[in-house]
Structure 1
């Protein structure tokens, strides 16, 4: 009798399976009664967005939920694209003060050739914390690091160990941090890297001067020398392999990594702060015919018109408003607003380090409170970072055909009292857990007579 029941159940399941497969709404999610912020167009006061097969299938005021779809009533909440961290060490670093957990910088053996995509840890406990803040993707950018016992902290540079000129034993000191990557933060994915070798990082100002073992002028000379060497190497690879070229200041691997930069295919991500150093970066880009992205730019407002004419984007922390160093004396809260008004493309960071990525949307709100238009504030944490890193064809805005990286907020995402109610990456709802919530649940449970350490 049991065998007969099992056969009957199996037959019913076999009949039901094709019907489910033929249902176009199978696996479809409809978020209804939501304020939609597409970013690429005007907001929709009340509408529906349909997620199907990992992509956005439809959105609008007159869109109806398909039959069989899972319906989520937003109850007037706001739907935006997933937030994008424009420059962070998420997935490549865990504890800033513990060197063994930091894979966001290299030593003196490599500089430009260091590829941070190999440092990405998909099991990083910080990923859940970022997702809880509505962040679904991030550019992962390396920092300049080397030898020495001291350390220097900067809001945008991260921790930069003191450099010693020529510490590697030969050639020029390593001035480049390495190559950036881009990750999407979907739970359960063993390979988060969406793209790699997207930019080569370099620091100017105080950090660049230290790395060069001298002054700001020394760092510029050495960077220009490295780019010249990369061009010569690209023209004479065969001769280099035969030992028939002059000596170069960087290794073969570093020179190889700089070839796309001097060819204009890959930008330099230039960390810079003082107005005069920003001008040096713009001059370097013009003379060397390379593309750059400016990160930091606390005194960017001083030279906003010049940055706009050059056409380079800026990644900044809108909270930077105090003179925490001699190169940030001109920091002010309306930096983003003034840059935007001048025509500069602005992306806003929450802070480089992983623990403060959730501040990103609040920093955008702070910039809006200090004069940045609201639409530009939302774009600064979604579509603008996507464009900077070449991901705007896939993510960054709510458009039909784009990946369904979507966040449902309880209210205005730039307000402090709002939180992310649901987060979707590629149309899949992400778990609402992080290391913090896991620890809470672990230690809130009854001890059952066991010591705390063994629960």
Structure 2
């Protein structure tokens, strides 16, 4: 009898692990916020996992229909600078695959290998309307998927080449994009961006001064260029000693060639100016992360065509980098013409749902509502090179749709349905399952766990 139970359980587990098949779905009657426009009483049609039409027409005959009358329909939220799926408990090192402290590997660290499709953080984020995430390696002193904890930062090293070990580590590794659908195949693309801390964190790992970091950073880029031009000499050990490992050198070639964006953490206005200067001098494609004082140099950021990942509720001078932090930062950056993406709290990992709350706060401090919607949907996709592929309700884009009970930036509104790649997702998570497990039943008897 017990063997039969075990076999049945195993079969159920295998069935639940099987990938769900994309459905043909029409979402009708709702107020559709496409990410770039608004359609009243709109219809979103999804076939084969992708949006095929968005407009005011009716649903095709015979198609599975979700009635969104009186509700709001949006693209799925895209979490940037996130740790979803790569960190279970931040304080438990064995469950945190966002930070790497190896001596011989920094820039080459690929966070995608540590992503767990069965992570408890994924369904929880999904219940908050999040359907995609940019998972970003940690480094001390940064925000988002990074960690504000600077412990161990002095031990970070840049790796070892022919010349032995070099301290510090100027790079934290490479980010990845995932979707949050139920199933095991969630990696969308690895190596979408490199990460590096600047400002106080960068100065600290370079020996204590900002100037030291910039000089060391430029010298590192020169080494990468030298290696790229002389790989055969490197293989024969006839190239001068280099401070980075071969893996790190290889990983940085797309960065120095301007093909891979570099996520740069900087908050102080003067640090932002110096980073923009560095990007001009070195031909780098950068994304600013943080930019708490970005409003002070918003026109310069816009002129450089550099996007910003901004936490819109940062408003306290917690250190000398954030003396000018203010709640109007997101609004000021947008008004200057900067493409912004809004971040959640605690690394957009366990509280990824806060992304929409933060967007609402940004609206209350001057950011237009439509710009806030774009900043959590289409803009993140645009910033990381996925424009038209997700984050927007348009023909050809992924069928990532959320039906909300009301205004998605209003905390009391909740997702009524979540569709990812054309598949309706289960509206449950471990926290809800635990709640239900320990609730008394209608007869008042104790939960199953206490029935033995």
> How far is 1:318 from its partner?
0.5
With 165-174 and 190-199 compared, the bigger mean Cα shift is at 165-174
> How many Å apart are 1:57 and its aligned residue?
2.2
Deviations, residues 398-440 of structure 1 (Å, cap 9, x unaligned): 1122111000011111112211110000111100111211211
Q: d(CA) in 2 for partners of 1:162 and 1:114?
A: 17
TM-score when normalising by structure 1: 0.88
Aligned with 2:29 (options 30, 33, 41): 33
**CA apart distance, 1:175:** 1.4
Who is 1:236 aligned against? 230
Distance (Å, rounded) in 2 between the aligned partners of 1:221 and 1:54: 48
Cα gap change, 1:165 to 1:417, in 2 (>3 Å): closer
Match of 1:106 among 100, 106, 118: 100
The 3-state SS of whatever aligns with 2:417 is: strand
**CA deviation after TM superposition for structure 1 residue 219, in Å:** 1.5
Contact 1:157 / 1:271 at 8 angstroms: preserved in 2? no
Question: Does the CA contact (< 8 Å) of 2:135 and 2:145 recur in 1?
Answer: no
Which residue among 359, 364, 372 is the counterpart of 1:364?
359
Distance 1:429 1:222 in 2: 49
For the residue of structure 1 that corresponds to 2:217, the secondary structure is helix
Q: Secondary structure at the match of 1:72?
A: strand
Q: What is the alpha-carbon distance in structure 2 between the residues aligned to residue 247 and residue 433 of structure 1?
A: 55
The CA distance in 2 between the partners of 1:318 and 1:153, in whole Å, is 15
Larger radius of gyration: 1
Moved more, 124-133 or 208-217: 208-217
Q: For 1:387 and 1:115, how far apart are their aligned partners in 2?
A: 22
User: 2:83, 2:401 → 1: CA distance?
Assistant: 22
- 1:97 match: 91
1:250-399 equivalences in 2 (<5 Å): 250-351=244-345, 352-399=347-394
Partner of 2:43: 48
Correspondent of 1:136 among 119, 128, 131: 131
In structure 1, distance between residues paired with 2:431 and 2:318: 31
Counterpart in the other structure of 1:58: 53
Structure 2 portions without partners, runs of 5+: 1-21
Q: 1:435 aligns with which of 421, 430, 436?
A: 430
**Which residue is 1:8 aligned to?**
none
**Alpha-carbon separation, structure 1, partners of 2:46 and 2:434:** 32
- TM-superposed deviation, 1:74: 1.1
Moved more, 171-180 or 439-448: 439-448
Unaligned 5+ runs, structure 1: 1-25, 146-151
Taking structure 1 as reference, are residues 249 and 58 closer, same or farther at Cα in structure 2, changes over 3 Å only?
A: same
Give the TM-score normalised by the residue count of structure 2: 0.89
Give secondary structure in 1 for the equivalent of 2:165: coil
Whether contact under 8 Å (1:38, 1:80) holds in the other structure is yes
SS of residue matched to 1:161: coil
Describe the SS at the equivalent of 1:290: coil
SS in 2 for 1:174: coil
* Paired residues, number: 421
* Residues 450/334 of structure 1: CA separation in 2 closer, same or farther (3 Å cut): closer
1:161 correspondence with 2:151: yes
Moved more, 438-447 or 327-336: 438-447
**1 CA distance for matches of 2:28 and 2:437?**
35
**Structure 1 residues 65 and 307: CA distance shift in structure 2, 3 A:** same
Written as runs of structure 1 = structure 2, the 5 A alignment for 1:126-205 is: 126-144=121-139, 157-158=146-147, 159-164=149-154, 170-188=165-183, 190-205=184-199
The equivalent residue for 1:224 is 218
Q: 1:333-387 deviations in whole A, cap 9, x for unaligned?
A: 0001101111111110113241221010111111111111111110000000001
In structure 2, the residue corresponding to 1:357 is in which secondary structure? coil
1:422 to 411, 417, 423: 417
Corresponding residue for residue 19 of structure 1: none
